[in-house]
Structure 1
Amino acid sequence: NNRMIDIWYMMIFGLIGWFFKKLDYNMAPMLLALVLGDMAESAMRQSMIMSQGSLLIFVQPPIALPLVIAAAIIGCWPWLAPMVRRMRGTEGKASPGH
């Protein structure tokens, strides 16, 4: 576009990409969010308009609540797994046969 602001954007996002690579961030989830973000936002807006602002639209159908719970567990698993291991008493122990 021959504008200086485009050069600044390129430099800023290049620097952000360099930091992400240096900090060993996985780029696949970021790319997926970049591609699907607009679609997810418009679907969320459409759902909120249909339900007149009620969040219950996401858990009222019979299949929705188990899927929401499963997604929450999967999303929180990195923090839940150590607690589960601690409760089972297997923290730091090798599995049988090893």
Structure 2
Amino acid sequence: MLHAPIDNNTVVQFDPWRLLGIPGGAILPDGFNKPVQFNLFDRVDPIIQRGHEDIALERAAWAQAAAADAGQPPRRRQRRHKPNTHGSSTVFSSSSVRCWFI
């Protein structure tokens, strides 16, 4: 399937019978056969604009961090070990790969 551009005033129309997979001859309420139409650009443009804002904010944060580091390479974050709160400790035997919980 070929992709179509989403320009201003791009109108999408759905056939309710095909969209919902309703078999022919089904009894439906009045007005159901009217196709559903909406302007796709009005729905998609706000999402696109939010994406551009997120990218701009991310780039600004990277630039600010680079300026704060004065050209130094990025530092690696230190790993923090959680304290042992269970009251047990692990003992490793040098002669085997087993461990015991005390």
TM-score for both structures, normalised by structure 1: 0.28
More helix, by proportion? 1
TM-score (norm 2): 0.27
Q: Higher relative contact order by CA 8 Å / sep ≥ 6: 1 or 2?
A: 2
- Which entry has the higher C-alpha Rg, 1 or 2? 2
